[in-house]
Amino acid sequence: MYLDREKLEVVYRAMQSSDVDAWITVGRETAIKSEPILPVLGDMDFILPTVIVFTKDKCIAVVSPLDIHGYRAIDGVDEAIEYLTLEQGIADLLKQLKPKKLALNYAANDASADGLTHGYWLMMQAVLQEVGLPIEVVSAEPIIQQVRGIKTASQLAAITECCAITMEIFDELTDYLATQEDLTSMDIFNKLQEMTYARGCTTSWSPALCPGVSTGPDYPGGHMGPVEIAVEKGHTVTVDFGVAKNGYCSDHQRTWYILKDDEQDAPEDVKAAFKAVVDGIQKAFDFMRPGVTGNQVDTVAREHITGLGYPDWNASLGHQVGHRTHDGGKTLSPRRNRYNRPELIDVPLDAGQVFTLEPSVPTRCGRVSAEEMCVVEPQGCRWLAPPQKELILVRRK
C-alpha cells in the first residue's frame, strides 16, 4: 500500500482552506464495502478496522496490531498508532487532538463522499459521547470534492492517455462502419469492445452497458444495454464510449452520418442541429474557469441550444470524470428536481477538475451528440482530446 504524495498536497491544501480541524476516514474490509476516497489517496485498502486521520498538517493512522508495521512503513503516514480496541483508539486520539470541528465521510447526494457505513456512524456517535468534548461533526463532502476532483499532473496524464486511445478507436470505427454490410448496433457494440480489449484496456463503465450505441430516430435513449437495430443509410450513429486503463478512464461521444447513395453530404437540418451542439459545447468551454458554478456553465450551453429552437435535453450538460466515468462531486447541471443540489451545482469550480460537456439534440435521422472532456485550468479550460466539429460522413457499400 502507498499514499500518493502528489495527492497529499491536495489533501493538505483542502484541509488548510477549510474550518475543519480533523478529517476521519474509518472502515473495514473495504474490498467488500467500498470507501470511495481510499483509491483516490493512493493504493489503499482496509482489511481489519482502520482509521486514517488528516489534520491540517499531519496524517495519523489508527490500526490493529496486525497492521501496525505496515502502516509505519507507508511514506506520508506521519504517525501510526496501535489500538487495543478501535473505539478506544479513536477516543484516545480525539482527546489528544481536541478538534472543535470533525469531518466524517457522509453525504446526502454524492456517492463519492458517502463511504461511512451506518454501523460505523453509530460507533462514532458512541465514541464522541465517551470522549465528552464539544466536537461538532460535519460532512467531509467539501473536502472530498477537492481531494477527489482536483487531478494531479500524473493523474491528468493517465486520463489523457485514455482519451487518446478512445480517439484511435473512434477513427478505426469510422473505417469499420464504411466496410461492413448488414451492420447492426450490436455489431458496433461488439466491435468497440473487441478494439478496447485488444489495446489492453477495459471499458470505462460496465461492459454490459459500454459502449452506448444509438442509430436512427426510433432508437430508445438512456442508460441501458445494447439493442439490436439495423444501421441504415440516411441515419445517424451516435456512440457513447470510453476506455479504462491503470485506474483512470475517459468518456466521449461521437456522431456519424451514413450517407444515402445519392447524397454527398448530410441533410442541412441535421448539420444545423449538430452545429448547435458543437457551438453550445464551445460556449460552455469558453465560459468555464475557476470560480464559476456548474449551473452557470450548464445554462450557457442550454440557453444557446434551446434558443435556436431545439428541445431541451433531459440530462446534465456534464459531470466529472477520471477515477470513474461518473466521478462524483460537482456537476454541470440545470435546476431540475434530480440535479438541484446546491452543494453540487452552486459551488465554484476548481482548477484541476475534469468535466465532460455533452448536450444532445434529436433529429429526423436520429440523435446528434458530442461529448468532450476538458480540464479546468487557472485561466480557463483545456481540451483533453480534439473536439468533434463536424459530422463524420460514412459512405457504406
Q: If pLDDT is split at 50, 70 and 90, which confidence band does 354 have?
A: very high
- Which residue stretches of the chain are H helix? 5-17, 38-41, 68-72, 86-97, 118-131, 141-149, 153-179, 185-198, 268-287, 294-307, 342-345
Domain match, 208 and 346 both: yes
> Would you place residue 168 in the very low, low, confident or very high pLDDT band (cuts 50, 70, 90)?
very high
Instruction: Dump the DSSP string for 56-75.
Output: SS-EEEEE-TTTHHHHHTST
In this predicted structure, the answer to whether residue 246 has a pLDDT above a threshold of 80 is yes
Burial of 120 (0-12, 13-18, 19+ CB in 10 A): buried
With a cut of 70, say whether residue 62 has pLDDT above it. yes
Which pTM value belongs to this model? 0.95
Residue 297 sits in the same domain as residue 316? yes
For CA atoms 364, 275, 389, 225, the dihedral sign is negative
Indicate the pLDDT class of residue 222, thresholds 50, 70 and 90: low
The answer on 370 and 244 residing in a single domain is: yes
Domain count, the chain: 2
Supply 206's cell numbers: 460496465
Whether residue 361 sits in one domain with residue 214? yes
Measured CA to CA, the distance from residue 154 to residue 317 in angstroms comes to: 26
| pLDDT of amino acid 218 | 87
Q: Which of 148, 180, 200 is the last residue of a domain?
A: 148
Residues 171, 144 share a domain: no
Are residues 259 and 123 part of one domain?
no
Q: How far is CA 223 from CA 95, 210, 211, 229, 285, in A?
A: 48, 9, 10, 16, 25
Residue 225 has pLDDT above 80, yes or no: no
Burial class, 16, CB count within 10 angstroms (exposed 0-12 / middle 13-18 / buried 19+): exposed
Query: For residue 227, what pLDDT is reported?
Result: 84
Query: Which structural domain range is residue 131 located in?
Result: 2-148
Query: Residue 27: which H helix or E strand, with range?
Result: strand 22-27
What is the per-residue pLDDT for 55?
98
Last residue of a domain, one of 95, 125, 148: 148
Q: Are residues 210 and 76 in the same domain?
A: no
Residue with cell 476506455: 243
Nearest to 23 by CA among 149, 138, 150: 138
The alpha-helical segments, DSSP class H, found in 199-291 are 268-287
CA distance 127 to 275: 58
pLDDT of residue 58: 97
| Distance in angstroms (rounded) separating the CA atoms of residues 15 and 13 | 5
Three cell numbers, residue 65: 496490531
pLDDT tens for each residue of 260-270:
999 999 999 99
**Confidence at residue 339, expressed as pLDDT on a 0 to 100 scale:** 87
The C-alpha cell at 279 is: 457551438
Q: Are residues 352 and 312 in the same domain?
A: yes
CB-count exposure of residue 153 (10 Å: 0-12, 13-18, 19+):
exposed
CATH number at residue 118: 3.40.350.10
194 and 109 both lie in a single domain:
no
Note whether 159 and 139 are same-domain residues. no
User: d(Cα 23, Cα 35) in Å, to the nearest integer?
Assistant: 14
Residue 305 zone, left/alpha/beta (φ > 0; ψ -120 to 50; rest): alpha
CATH number at residue 241: 3.90.230.10
Q: Are the CB atoms for 230 and 236 separated by under 8 Å?
A: no
Q: How many CB atoms lie within 10 A of CB 264?
A: 8
Same domain, 250 and 142: no
pLDDT at 245: 97
Q: What is the pLDDT of residue 223?
A: 65
Do 235 and 287 belong together in one domain? Answer: yes
Long-range CB contacts (within 8 A, 24+) of 6-10: 6/152, 6/153, 6/154, 6/155, 7/40, 7/41, 7/42, 7/147, 7/152, 7/155, 8/41, 8/59, 8/76, 9/152, 10/146, 10/147, 10/150, 10/152, 10/352
- Boundary residue ending a domain (97, 113, 148): 148
| Inter-residue contact 255 to 224 (CB < 8 Å) | no
